[in-house]
Amino acid sequence: MSKQKRLLAVHDVSCFGRCSLTVALPIISATGIETVVLPTAILSTHTGGFTGYTYRDLTDDIVPIIKHWEELNIKFDAVYSGFLGSFEQIDIVSQIFKKFKAEGSIIAVDPVMADNGELYKIFDENFPKGMVSLCQLADVIMPNITEASLMLSGQYKEGPYTKEYIRELLIKLSQLGPKKVVLTGVYFDERDLGAASFDALTQEFSFARANRISGYYHGTGDVFGSALVAALVKNKKLSKAVEIAVDFTVGSIKRTYESQTDIRFGVNFEEGLGDLLNACNSNN
Ligand code: PXL
Instruction: Quote the pLDDT of residue 172.
Output: 98
Cα of 47 vs centre of ligand 1, distance in Å, is: 6
Any domain includes 224: yes
Any domain includes 170: yes
List, in sequence order, every residue forming a beta bridge with 37; answer none if it has no partner. Answer: 9
Residue 198: name the closest of 189, 190, 188, 208 by CA. 208
SS3 213: coil
How many residues belong to the chain?
284
Strands 192-199 and 180-186: antiparallel
* Tens place of pLDDT per residue across the chain (284 aa): 789 999 999 999 999 999 999 999 999 999 999 999 999 999 999 999 999 999 999 999 999 999 999 999 999 999 999 999 889 999 999 999 999 888 899 999 999 999 999 999 889 999 999 999 999 999 999 999 999 999 999 899 999 999 999 999 999 999 999 999 999 999 999 999 999 999 999 999 999 999 999 888 999 999 999 999 999 999 999 999 999 999 999 999 999 999 999 999 999 999 999 999 999 999 87
Any domain includes 11: yes
Any domain includes 25: yes
The 8-class DSSP code of residue 271 comes to G
Q: Whose CA is nearest to atom 1 of ligand 1?
A: 219
Any domain includes 153: yes
- Mutating to test ligand 1, I would choose from 13, 18, 19 the residue with most ligand atoms within 8 A of its C-beta, which is 19
93-to-76, 84, 262 alpha-carbon distances in Å: 14, 9, 33
Q: Which helix (H) or strand (E) holds 39?
A: strand 34-45
Termini Cα distance of the chain: 19
Any domain includes 206: yes
Nearest-angstrom CA–CA distance, 278 and 87: 38
Q: Whose CA is nearest to atom 8 of ligand 1?
A: 46
Nearest-angstrom CA–CA distance, 173 and 57: 29
Task: Look up the CATH number of the domain holding residue 64.
Answer: 3.40.1190.20
- What is the atom index within ligand 1 of the atom nearest the CA of 222? 1
Nearest-angstrom CA–CA distance, 131 and 128: 5
Pocket (CB within 6 angstroms of ligand 1) = 12, 14, 19-20, 43, 46-48, 83, 112, 120, 219, 221-222
Instruction: Quote the pLDDT of residue 118.
Output: 95
Domain that holds residue 100: 6-276
Any domain includes 281: no
Nearest-angstrom CA–CA distance, 178 and 191: 31
Any domain includes 116: yes
- Mutating to test ligand 1, I would choose from 83, 115, 147 the residue with most ligand atoms within 8 A of its C-beta, which is 83
Cα of 103 vs centre of ligand 1, distance in Å, is: 31
Q: Whose CA is nearest to atom 6 of ligand 1?
A: 46
Nearest-angstrom CA–CA distance, 138 and 267: 28
Number of domains in the chain: 1
Cα of 112 vs centre of ligand 1, distance in Å, is: 7
